[in-house]
Structure 1
């Protein structure tokens, strides 16, 4: 595959993911995402150089544009799903500055300094939409890189299907907000995908290039850098992802060559430096501190362990779609569509899979439950049980991604079965994305339980709702079509596909002249 061809694919994927994120940014009222007021205030402060403001507990006092002084940390419609977002006053700019409290001023500042740039060129609601737009671009870039890496997998279409299930509506809901959650998840998705394919290529092609010109290497390293500075817990997820990838595909020779690569030797110090700076920040700013909760201080350990497990295991809906300020879960039938798609992807992938792959997937599923439950149990007397499902997504997205990335086995080699899996997964993706947007829009415009339409106390997005729905539906359908057409692993002979689903298939996707693999092409 030529570099220009890969660049075109990245650009198409970037534009599609930008549509998803920007649609949610416009479909959600200002400060309509959990903790967005606090994150917006800190972003505006960080862009003005205030990253070490005085703090007391979780409260940090910063000097920001005066309009932020009128913003409540919790808007009027939060936790009231039947109340439209129209109860909140318009967020408009005004001259001057004010000292304002934010509860996230002790978080690592990199994301906030970036997103806050939007507040330097505008004020009021426009500034918030610009900060959201910058978040959308960052998330779209990382997800586009993951999509291009998935096209290099053994089964590109199945890998893209796994990517579709990993990017749940919750990911795009947060990508359209001022919040570091979605960039953290997107960086994890990119590292899972690019790292897996890179290690797989090193095992299959001992002479593969490991120069900086290799996209898989660049994407893996850049995703790791983003993860080191995203959120306080990102370092934990980074270690877990790297450990899982090394166990799955990290042969001794592959790791040895990887560590001796000049590109890796030059970049690892950067990753270590950013990780070290975040670790120092966590210690010096007490970045793991949460809002205190004394309601469980006297709860015995055993009942606390049961409660912790219950809060974590019921968080699946929060990973898929839980809108508003945790007040609007999507209908159970929509969550069931996600489970249906995941089960359809998992059944053929797990049948006949090597024991090591099964053990890693099982350990990953267990860790997605036990790690959050343990963290809560260690701190429940001080902070209660405040874990949300989205916090686990950087780790949990590895499950659908790996189900799509694992190579074909004898059980997955039947063409008819392969096509049915893809049809179910892409149908689930389109249904999930569109139904979730409709549900969240109705909650914001009219309130859950009301009829569709805007009432006197309702809220309306800055563009027509019909345009938002049509845009997201169109982007979902384009993603589905491109996934179904991406049937050949990059590097196959021109005009043919690999025997990944029991048959050789043609593909409209271009390949490098001479049928060389992308790794071989990079070495030329």
Structure 2
């Protein structure tokens, strides 16, 4: 299951990495520059014009990823406007707005920029991110598949890996890394406290918790908060006493110690660099705490749209029906857990997860809105969405397990087919935006393409997208259905 999940998710993310122009992800040029500078020993860089800016020296190919600004926020400007990225052997000074960010993710994806492969290193950096993020998503699915009643949690995990999440995985951007490590850490905690372990399973579970938790702490400035919420929700779901008893046993206590040390180091980095407040000034600066909280709370649905199907520089959108379909799937899982599960500790934990999803982002944004304005985006909420939806699936899994096997199988097939269709339509719609522009017709896409990703022409990439998503669907069916009847309905 782990290998199938990892390969299918990695191929999907790499598909997005290749079919999106270099730099065509929100703030991706800054992340490219940060990654290339970190692996060259420039952990922060020199101060720039703004509080968040840092000046570093990187290859010209990396610095010129800012050429993507010719199409950023302009949905009908095609990717043929992007100028060449220059020479990989020439170093230049450039400013990045990500200079103060924790360097851990950037080390893991920046190393291809050291290879003597010219401009191809830009794609290899994306591939490194795609493979890394897919690894942790696969770990989360594997943990959930080993719960006493796994089918609904595994389905929820697949559904919560939205098109936006896969797109971010195929970009140089720490958001997907944060989402993936949150998913792996949360699923690992659920598995650790709800299952009787063999010595081998304890070791592997503790190792996965240590790695995912330690890396999550360093993913982004707010990642420590998501880690804390994951711990609280799981502890409530099984009882704090039981949770503590499990976590103080070897080898889990070693994982706890390593994650704690990582949290301390991440906290020191954040305090020393002052990276959380140094985000710049955006519309809404000067608003009061109360105004910021209410504005954010009322915009929850808008942020959900970004979390499901908004790509590029927030200028490329999945079709409305794809958004509605994902809203329906995710909301059904949550409502099913809230309304139809029997009251229990895990049910109480679900309410905590729901409260966190609704109120933590408004509280975080309101605390800085007076100075920074509104900087929040839907992708920042995705770790909380993962915790909420997976917890709801775990809570609802008892009732779901009571369904006849034939009915359960129908639900599985339906969810996998519609999510795969949503992934396909999102990928090809995003591709069309860069080939002929968002408002152009599909006829123009096939008859008069203005840009094509590498390797194939634009019409051929349409076919490639279809093949990859069919493989993704097949992998999903293999993960959830190619087991005996007992496991499907357990």
What is the TM-score when the length of structure 2 is the normalising length? 0.91
Q: Contact 1:151–1:486 (CA<8 Å) still a contact in 2?
A: no
Q: 1: CA distance between counterparts of 2:148 and 2:280?
A: 48
CA distance in structure 2 between the partners assigned to 1:304 and 1:456 by the alignment: 46
| Inter-CA distance 362–417: structure 2 relative to 1 (3 Å threshold) | farther
Aligned residues: 480
Deviation of 1:90 (Å) = 2.4
Name the Cα RMSD after superposition: 2.4
Alignment match of 2:454 (pick from 458, 462, 477): 462
Query: Shift of residue 487 of structure 1?
Result: 4.7
Stretch moving more, 283-292 or 374-383: 283-292
Give the secondary-structure state (helix, strand or coil) at the position aligned to 1:100: strand
SS in 2 for 1:48: coil
Q: What CA deviation, in whole Å up to 9, does each residue of 1:36-83 have, x standing for no partner?
A: 100001111101111032224111011111334444376111101111
Contact (CA 8 Å) 1:348, 1:412: kept in 2 or not? no
Would the alpha carbon gap of residues 90 and 479 (structure 1) be closer, same or farther in structure 2, given more than 3 Å must change? same
Q: Distance in 2 between matches of 1:95 and 1:47?
A: 16
Could you say which residue in structure 2 is the equivalent of 1:161? 155
Check if 1:252 corresponds to 2:241. Answer: yes
Matched, 1:184 2:172: no
Could you say what secondary structure the match of 1:421 adopts? Answer: helix
In structure 2, do the counterparts of structure 1 residues 226 and 299 end up closer, same or farther at CA, with 3 Å as the change threshold? closer
Partner of 2:24: 32
The within-5 A match list for 1:22-421 is 22-56=14-48, 57-72=51-66, 75-122=69-116, 124-201=118-195, 205=196, 208-209=197-198, 214-250=203-239, 252-261=241-250, 263-293=251-281, 295-346=283-334, 348-350=336-338, 351-406=340-395, 408-410=397-399, 413-415=402-404, 417-421=407-411
SS in 1 for 2:105: helix
Displacement of 1:88: 1.0
Give secondary structure in 1 for the equivalent of 2:57.
Answer: strand
Superposition deviation, residue 95 in structure 1: 3.1
The TM-score with structure 1 as length reference comes to 0.85
Match in the other structure for 1:446: 436
* Alignment partner of 1:18 is 2:6: no
Q: Give the 3-state SS of the residue equivalent to 2:133 in structure 1.
A: helix
How far apart are residue 463 of structure 1 and its match? 3.0
Contact 2:75-2:437 within 8 A present in 1 as well: yes
Distance in structure 1 (CA, Å) of the matches to 2:175 and 2:487 = 37
In 2, the alpha carbon distance for the partners of 1:357 and 1:377 equals 30
Q: Could you tell me which runs of 5 or more consecutive residues in structure 2 were left unpaired when the two chains were aligned.
A: none
Distance across 2 between alignment mates of 1:213 and 1:306: 44
Structure label with greater radius of gyration: 1
Superposition deviation, residue 225 in structure 1: 1.2
Q: Deviations over 1:294-346 (max 9, x none)?
A: 64344455444332223344211111110110112222211111123234444
Residues 1:402 and 1:466: Cα distance change in structure 2 (over 3 Å): same
Query: Greater share of helix residues, 1 or 2?
Result: 2
Change (3 A) 1:307 1:473: same
Counterparts in 2 of 1:47 and 1:498: CA distance versus 1, 3 Å: closer
Superposed CA offset, 1:430-489 (max 9, x none) = 12211111111111111111023178783211133134313322222213321441555x
Residue 75 of structure 1 aligns to a residue whose secondary structure is helix
Deviations 1:77-125 (A, max 9, x none): 1101111121111224243211111110100001112211010004553
Distance in 1 between the 2:191 and 2:244 partners?
A: 14
1:162/1:345 contact within 8 Å kept: yes
Query: Where does residue 6 of structure 1 map in the other structure?
Result: none
